[in-house]
A and B are shown apart, each in its own frame.
Chain A
């Protein structure tokens, strides 16, 4: 009996990896991915190098020293010309805009009647930057009126960051929860992609056997369940092969590209750190001090990698088997791929939910009620639990009972769903004709 299962797995595997479109995807995907990364790196670089020039016509006595050249903006000062002339020259020189500070007696008055003239609506980065300059001066002036000296002011202005520590007394750093959840999320995301891609392959392979009418020949030799299992395992082995090829070739390509084209890929990371909006959370540790850097490294090394990877394997195998057996049942229930849509949506829904819950709720509060609930619920737990796990188990991490309960629920669901799916599969593969309704599928369970 196991010999037959082996035969089926082998056939499914070979049929998949010899398939032309599979080969094309295997070869092309890493090239596309690397191409995209290179493109993003290139565009980021181009974006960076574009320097905006703003002309300043300052008729007042204030703000004389405040418009200093920065990485992305530089200022040209006009003097002794009228506003109209300044506008004309700004336009003819092709500068980004003209900042006009009229001559008033009071700094407040100057600030109030200052204008920024631009061709189109100005970039918010620019306006924010300018506003900050004014605000700082105004604040200093107002505090000066209250008797605060310039030295005192700069003492007040010093940045402040709160120190963090766990109850156990370990020093902690900001954003580490997010980094950990991000690592777990990457594992969860990989599971979701794998399920959607290779679950679809399983489904199409079942449909192919139905439409080619070979199915009855085969199930007169093997049990339908064996065929289903063999198909799922064979397809997932092909999938693992493809994933492995992708990871190896993409990293190799990336390495070669960065070597030959000289694109510094670390600028990508650097940019992400500089820009608080790009990656929420992670960026909060912008420019950490050396001591903090060590802490981050320590925290990442402290992630229970063995636990994480072994749980990944457990959740991956169980989650994939649950979902792909549903895909197989759908393939068996219909005659062609166009009929699958109404059945596929309900499967993808919990997967998407898990990803969204993960990124919105687990990131900020890995042990809150929503995170706990969805990491126990079997259809979302493979993704959500993996996002929680980098915090470890036990104190400060996932309580052991939650992990065990989640796996137990998943195993229970696995048995339930796989046996239900096998029933639908067994009946469905011999049914031709019209697309069944959910009611009919329910009836099949009792045949």
Chain B
């Protein structure tokens, strides 16, 4: 029962086109789960199945331990990538309508909307029409409507598109706070910088298949190649020093600052030899930096996807 959502062998195809093949995922409670993948990988289809907008052809989805059913709809909040609001309806009226569709009573919805409108500093928009607002303003309202009914599971599909950096930060902080309060969050995107910041777990979907999933830190560990960044302060001639190093190790790149006598290089080491290397280097030079390079989510993304494409 530690998972808010479990997908087992979920398949979905549209005619001849396969959107999802055998997707199995476990999304833990109270974390931010990044659903990554290039455009057209099948992320949106998977999210739509969770929201019961469309249904899987085969496979099973468990929400909080029980098979996904219509009564779960009010426990899920969904901010789709293709989102909008009724242009000619007033902001407040519209927010009330959408909240009531999620099962809130009118008075409850009003109260919570007032709270959120004040919180995001948009209280005076209540009687405006959507067509009078900018795109970013409308996005704020969509965000509020998504989280208003305090769902157990929140699904954000590209939540930051359309926001300026300041408002994107406000929304990011709100998402983190929601997580603090115990909400589980699925975060679908292909913008990796926000993944690094927010996600504890990720799954990578590519061409309808899951090719990678797990804890982000574990995945990073698995993707380490024993490449190290080393900084040395050396005495004497750097040419010979580098030559000796190159004979011993696989140097990927190097640079030398003659004034500071500082040599920086990246090196590919055989596994489990870090201690020997350190000992050896410390005899000949003064080590001021020795660190393993951790691949970024972006690196992993590109590496895995291009590997899959080559296959």
Interface residue ranges, A against B (CB under 8 Å): 4, 7-8, 11, 15, 19, 208-209, 212-214, 216-222, 224, 426, 430, 432, 443, 446-447
User: Which residues of A are found within 8 Å of B80, using beta-carbon distances?
Assistant: 216-217, 220
Out of B48, B76, B98, which one reaches A218, CB within 8 Å? B98
Verify A15–B89 contact, CB threshold 8 A: yes
CB closest residue in chain B, given A447: B14
Return A331 CB to nearest CB of chain B, in Å: 15
By the criterion CB–CB under 8 Å, are A221 and B102 in contact?
Answer: yes
Could you show 21 A-B contacts with beta carbons less than 8 Å apart?
A4-B101, A7-B100, A15-B86, A208-B87, A213-B84, A214-B83, A214-B85, A214-B86, A216-B53, A216-B83, A217-B78, A217-B80, A217-B85, A217-B142, A220-B51, A220-B53, A221-B102, A224-B53, A430-B48, A430-B53, A447-B14
- Chain A residues with CB below 8 A from B48, complex form: 430
Q: How far does the alpha carbon of A7 sit from the alpha carbon of B93 in the complex, in Å?
A: 12
Closest 5 interchain pairs by CB?
A: A213-B84, A221-B101, A216-B80, A220-B78, A212-B84
- Nearest residue (CB) in B for A224 is B53
Which of A11, A220, A222, A443 counts the most chain B CB atoms within 10 A? Answer: A220
- Bound CA–CA A4/B98 (angstroms): 10
Also in contact, A214 and B102, with CB within 8 A (given A220-B51, A220-B53, A221-B73): no
Bound Cα distance A287, B48 (Å): 71
Q: Of the candidates B53, B73, B85, B97, which one forms a contact with A7 in the assembled complex, judged by CB atoms under 8 Å apart? A: B97
Contact of B84 among A214, A224, A430 (CB under 8 A): A214
Q: How far is the CA of A8 from the CA of B100 in the complex (A)?
A: 10
Question: What's the nearest-Cβ distance from chain A to residue B66, in Å?
Answer: 19
From the candidates A11, A213, A222, A224, name the one contacting B82 in the complex (CB within 8 A).
A213
List residues of chain B with CB within 8 A of the CB of A443: 15
Residue in A216, A218, A426, A446 whose CB lies within 8 Å of B101 = A218
Which of B73, B83, B100 is within 8 Å of A217, CB to CB? B83
Chain B contacts of A15 at CB under 8 A? 86, 88-89
Chain B residues with CB below 8 A from A4, complex form: 101
Q: Does B145 count as interface, using CB distance less than 8 angstroms?
A: yes
A212 CA / B88 CA spacing, docked (Å): 10
Contacts of B87 in A (CB 8 A): 208, 212
Q: Chain B nearest CB: distance from A136 CB in Å?
A: 71
Question: What's the Cα separation between A107 and B89 when bound, in Å?
Answer: 84
Q: How far is the CA of A426 from the CA of B46 in the complex (A)?
A: 16
Expressed in whole angstroms, the Cα–Cα distance for A4 and B97 within the complex equals 10
Chain B nearest CB from A391 CB (Å) reads 48
* Identity of the chain A residue whose Cβ is nearest the Cβ of B101 in the assembled complex: A221
Residue-by-residue, is B70-109 near A (CB-CB < 8 Å gives 1, otherwise 0)? 0001001011101111111100000001101110000000
Contact indicator A221/B86 (Cβ below 8 Å): no
Residues of the B chain whose Cβ atoms lie less than 8 Å from the Cβ of A213: 82-84
Question: Inside 8 A of B98's CB, which chain A residues have their CB?
Answer: 217-218, 221
**Distance (Å) between the CB of B76 and the closest chain A CB?**
7
Most buried by A among B79, B85, B97: B97
20 more A-B contacts (CB under 8 A) besides A15-B86, A212-B85, A218-B98?
Answer: A8-B101, A208-B87, A212-B84, A213-B84, A214-B83, A214-B84, A214-B86, A216-B53, A216-B78, A217-B79, A217-B85, A218-B101, A220-B51, A220-B80, A221-B73, A221-B101, A221-B102, A426-B54, A443-B15, A447-B14
Which residues in A have their C-beta under 8 angstroms from that of B83? 213-214, 216-217
* Bound: A209/B86 CA distance, A: 7
Closest A residue to B81 by beta carbon equals: A216
Closest Cβ–Cβ distance, residue A91 to chain B (whole Å): 66
CB neighbours (8 Å) of A432 from chain B are 82
In contact, B85 and A11 (Cβ under 8 angstroms):
no
> Which of B48, B51, B84, B101: most chain A CB closer than 10 A?
B101
Q: Quote the shortest CB–CB distance from B107 to chain A (angstroms).
A: 15
- Chain A residue at minimum C-beta to C-beta distance from B85: A214
CA distance A446 to B51 in the complex (A): 20
Q: List chain A residues, Cβ under 8 A from B100.
A: 7
Return chain A residues, CB-CB under 8 Å to B88. Answer: 15, 19
* Complex: A19 Cα to B97 Cα, angstroms: 18
Interface pair B15/A219, CB less than 8 Å apart = no
- Contact residues in A for B54 (Cβ distance below 8 Å): 426, 430, 447
- Measured CA separation A208–B82 after assembly (Å): 14
Contacts of A208 in B (CB 8 A): 86-87
**Contact between chains at B97 and A11 (CB < 8 Å):** yes
CA gap between A222 and B98 in the complex, in Å: 10
Chain B residues, Cβ within 8 Å of A224: 53
List the B side residues contacting A216 at CB < 8 Å.
53, 78, 80, 82-83
A334 to B85, CA, bound (A): 19
Residue on A nearest B13 in the bound complex, by CB = A447
Complex CA gap A224/B88 in Å reads 22
> How near does chain B come to A12, taking the closest CB pair, in angstroms?
11
**A222 in contact with B53 given A212-B87, A216-B80, A216-B83 (CB within 8 Å):** no
Q: Which of B29-55 contact A (CB under 8 A)?
A: 48, 51, 53-54
Using CB atoms, name the residue of chain A closest to B145.
Answer: A217
A222-B15 contact, Cβ under 8 Å, with A212-B85, A216-B83, A217-B142: no
Q: Quick one: which of A8, A219, A432, A446 has the most chain B CB within 10 A?
A: A219
- CB of A447 within 8 A of CB of B84, answer no
